[in-house]
């Protein structure tokens, strides 16, 4: 079974629509500010998609751009009005920031706890550990929504998360734990990684390495959630990963690259009982949950 992230995204956004209209009736639309520093192409694409989703949902979007050579001090000065603008419910600083920027300082001084739409701040993460209400990291929160909406059991299942990032791996493990799964977190120094992964009823791959997990890592019948978004630009590698796939080959010829997850696509499709495709699986859920977090923050601020 293919787990269609676009369908779940559309369900979530449709459910948010009346809540946005209700907030407008209370006096104003929810507001999301996005800060983009520099001209990284991937970051620009992400920001455009976030602003587009906001506008389509009726959320007011505020975009603040800064040159890539800006200093930390100058960026903080630029963002001072945003820090004082309480009509903005949610603030997102698009990562990565240029190397000369002290990212931790910027985020801690600009994104206060009650506007942490990404759910990455210490307050939000602490509330996640305690299983208390607060914005949740968008990608793992979207994965939980997908599993629930496809009625895939989580409680009492063995879940393995490959990757321990603060953005996906760690919050994913905690969210699965709160759903009563038995959770193992694997990483670059895990011994017998394949054996650990094969024990999983639910396998979440979030390591950022193209097709690293193969048939050796997948238990037949497991649910495989592939968070990876890796761009492959080598023709021979595309053929190795998608043998005989004329559609993927045509896409490569057109764009010069294709997206591949952290799990080898062929064994994932053949061995799993359900899996997320790349693209079209986890990716659409991240923005949907960003919109959800924005609406929840606005409801909190307006006392709804």
The Cα–Cα gap between 102 and 30 comes to 29
Q: For residue 262, give the CATH number of its domain.
A: 3.40.50.720
In a domain, 300, yes or no: no
Residues 163, 248, single domain; the answer is yes
Residues 192, 254, single domain; the answer is yes
Block means of pLDDT (10 residues each) for the chain, 304 residues, are: 96 96 91 93 85 94 94 95 93 92 91 93 93 95 98 98 94 98 95 96 96 96 95 87 86 88 94 95 94 96 86
Residues 61, 193, single domain; the answer is no
Active-site annotation holder among 89, 118, 226, 262:
118
Is 201 annotated in the active site?
no
31: closest CA among 9, 64, 6?
64
Q: For residue 106, give the CATH number of its domain.
A: 3.40.50.10860
Residues 108, 151, single domain; the answer is no
Q: Is 103 exposed, middle or buried (0-12, 13-18, 19+ CB in 10 A)?
A: middle
pLDDT at 234: 86
pTM (2 decimals)?
0.92
Q: Which domain holds residue 159?
A: 138-285
pLDDT at 287: 93
pLDDT at 53: 92
pLDDT at 243: 87
In a domain, 21, yes or no: no
Is 266 annotated in the active site?
no
Residues 110, 233, single domain; the answer is no
Residues 64, 166, single domain; the answer is no
In a domain, 82, yes or no: yes
How many structural domains does the chain have? 2
In a domain, 62, yes or no: yes
pLDDT at 256: 87
Residues 97, 36, single domain; the answer is yes
Active-site annotation holder among 50, 157, 170, 219:
50
Is 118 annotated in the active site?
yes
Domain end call among 81, 114, 147: 114
Q: Where are the beta strands (DSSP E) in the chain?
A: 31-37, 60-66, 90-93, 158-162, 182-186, 202-205, 223-226, 230-232, 258-260, 274-275
Residues 222, 147, single domain; the answer is yes
Residues 270, 144, single domain; the answer is yes
Active-site annotation holder among 89, 94, 116, 145:
94
């Amino acid at each position: 079974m293919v787990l269609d992230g676009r369908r779940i995204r559309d369900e979530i956004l449709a459910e948010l629509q009346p809540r946005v209209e209700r907030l407008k009736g209370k006096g104003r639309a929810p507001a999301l500010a996005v800060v983009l520093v520099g001209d990284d192409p991937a970051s620009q694409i992400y920001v455009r998609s976030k602003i587009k989703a906001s506008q389509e949902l009726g959320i007011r979007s505020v975009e603040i751009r800064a040159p890539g050579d800006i200093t930390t001090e100058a960026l903080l000065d630029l963002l001072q009005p945003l820090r004082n603008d309480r009509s903005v419910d949610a603030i997102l600083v698009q990562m990565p920031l240029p190397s000369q920027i002290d990212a931790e300082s910027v985020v801690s001084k600009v994104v206060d706890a009650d506007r942490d739409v990404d759910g990455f701040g210490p307050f939000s993460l602490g509330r996640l550990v305690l299983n208390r209400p607060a914005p949740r990291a968008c990608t793992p929160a979207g994965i939980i929504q997908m599993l629930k909406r496809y009625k895939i059991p989580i409680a009492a299942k063995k879940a393995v998360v490959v990757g321990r990032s603060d953005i996906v791996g760690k919050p994913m493990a905690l969210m699965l734990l709160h759903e009563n799964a038995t959770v193992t977190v694997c990483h670059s120094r895990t011994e017998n990684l394949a054996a650990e992964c094969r024990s999983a009823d639910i396998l979440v791959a979030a390591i950022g390495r193209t097709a690293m997990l193969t048939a050796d890592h997948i238990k037949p019948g497991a649910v495989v959630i592939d968070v990876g978004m890796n761009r492959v630009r080598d023709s021979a590698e595309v053929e190795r990963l998608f043998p005989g796939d004329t559609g993927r080959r045509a896409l490569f010829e057109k764009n010069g690259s294709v997206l591949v997850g952290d799990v080898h696509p062929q064994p994932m499709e053949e061995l799993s009982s359900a899996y997320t495709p790349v693209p079209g699986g986890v990716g659409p859920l991240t923005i949907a949950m960003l919109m959800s977090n924005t609406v929840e923050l606005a409801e909190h601020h307006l006392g709804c």
